[in-house]
């Protein structure tokens, strides 16, 4: 089904709610639209930011109909009530995502100042107050002073038996896995995955990252796409080795196993299905490609929409 989205600029992001019966769109025209699939179309529209709305994310329904948006500047007026504005970033917020339900009501945001900030609701019944989790300045990876190292995307690990873990993509082409360390009470970089760059080694920005849901696998799959026109799937396994970094750092519980390049055309957005077995990618060509691993572990395009 094709829907006239009604935005006056490009649709930069969209997200379905937990049940798949409602979805929201974010646009460069600074507005957010919420659609009810069982109704006559859009149920509400409002200007969410003074600049483009880059990302949008739904919380688990246990916490109510809660929506987070990432963009530049503050603005909101609609039937959807602005419960909190988290404005610690020094530059535009470029990405946002709620944590998995088992981690509680947490929210990760990345910004052009190169910092990922993790917020936690102090009281799920009062969403006006959130605290900044971890270190005072958030999770910066020593990049906050470099304007070319802004955060472009992030994705949480949904594994219930893993400590809080997420993967982050940077505009420098870097892709890093971070994990919360209870002993140090801070977020640490655990694995640096192969970066996005040209054949000659010139860095190219990451456009999107997606951590696959883990259903019965002994390893994790992480997809990334970048301006180097490469769509990659990285494989990370739980283990005791201390050389889990693709580029030299160490890890005590995650081991990098390898990366496969699926496609060499630019993909802007990527998303896994609920079982983590099919990867969808969309790009400039107006086509959505579906990728699936065969019995030998090689990824193939199984459909184009």
pLDDT on residue 132: 86
| Domains delineated in the chain | 83-304 (2.130.10.10)
Mean of the per-residue pLDDT values of the chain: 84
pLDDT on residue 249: 42
> Which of 188, 192, 190 shows the shortest CA–CA distance to 135?
188
Question: pLDDT of 129-143, one tens digit each?
Answer: 898 875 544 565 443
Contacts of 120 (CB under 8 A, 6+ apart): 104, 105, 106, 107, 130, 131, 133
In this model, does residue 48 exceed pLDDT 50?
Answer: yes
Instruction: Return the HEC string of 201-233.
Output: CCECCEEEEEECCCCCCCEEEEEEEECCCCEEE
In this model, does residue 94 exceed pLDDT 70?
Answer: yes
pLDDT on residue 45: 78
Question: pLDDT of 255-264, one tens digit each?
Answer: 999 999 999 9
Distance CA 301, CA 292 (A): 7
In this model, does residue 216 exceed pLDDT 90?
Answer: no
Percent of the chain exceeding pLDDT 90 equals 43
pLDDT bucket at 248, cuts 50 / 70 / 90:
very low
pLDDT bucket at 302, cuts 50 / 70 / 90:
very high
Distance CA 179, CA 159 (A): 13
Per-range mean pLDDT, top range of 2-6, 39-43, 97-101, 284-288:
97-101
Question: pLDDT of 51-77, one tens digit each?
Answer: 888 899 999 999 988 999 888 776 655
Distance CA 225, CA 209 (A): 7
pLDDT on residue 147: 45
According to DSSP, residue 250 is labeled -
Distance CA 48, CA 31 (A): 5
pLDDT on residue 148: 59
User: What is residue 79's three-state secondary structure?
Assistant: coil
pTM for the whole thing?
A: 0.84
Question: pLDDT of 267-283, one tens digit each?
Answer: 999 999 999 999 999 98
Distance CA 54, CA 94 (A): 6
What's the CA dihedral at 190, 196, 201, 203 to 10 degrees?
Answer: -90
Exposed/middle/buried for residue 284 (C-beta within 10 Å: 0-12, 13-18, 19+): exposed
* 269, 286 Cβ separation under 8 angstroms: no
């Amino acid at each position: 089904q094709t829907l006239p989205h009604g935005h006056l600029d490009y649709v930069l992001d969209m997200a379905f709610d937990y049940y798949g019966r409602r979805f929201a769109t974010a646009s460069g025209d600074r507005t957010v639209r919420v659609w009810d699939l069982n109704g006559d179309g859009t149920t509400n529209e409002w200007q969410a930011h003074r600049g483009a709305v880059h990302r949008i994310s739904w919380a688990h329904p246990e916490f109510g109909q809660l929506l987070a948006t990432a963009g530049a500047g503050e603005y909101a007026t609609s039937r959807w009530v602005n419960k909190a504005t988290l404005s610690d970033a020094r530059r535009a917020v470029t990405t946002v995502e709620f944590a998995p339900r088992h981690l509680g009501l947490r929210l990760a945001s990345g910004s052009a100042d190169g910092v990922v900030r993790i917020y936690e609701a102090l009281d799920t019944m009062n969403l006006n107050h959130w605290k900044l989790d971890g270190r005072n300045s958030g999770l910066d990876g020593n990049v906050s002073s470099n304007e070319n190292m802004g955060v472009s995307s992030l994705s949480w690990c949904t594994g219930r038996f893993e400590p809080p873990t997420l993967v982050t993509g940077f505009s420098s082409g870097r892709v890093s896995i971070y994990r919360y360390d209870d002993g140090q009470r801070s977020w640490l970089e655990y694995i640096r995955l192969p970066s996005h760059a040209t054949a000659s080694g010139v860095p190219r920005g990451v456009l999107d990252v997606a951590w696959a849901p883990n259903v019965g696998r002994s390893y994790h799959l992480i997809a990334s796409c970048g301006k180097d026109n490469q769509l990659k799937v990285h494989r990370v396994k739980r283990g005791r080795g201390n050389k889990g970094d693709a580029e030299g750092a160490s890890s005590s519980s995650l081991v990098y196993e390898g990366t496969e390049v699926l496609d060499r055309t630019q993909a802007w957005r990527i998303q896994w299905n609920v079982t983590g077995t099919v990867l969808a990618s969309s790009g400039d060509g107006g086509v959505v490609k579906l990728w699936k691993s065969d019995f030998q572990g090689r990824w193939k395009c199984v459909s184009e929409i």
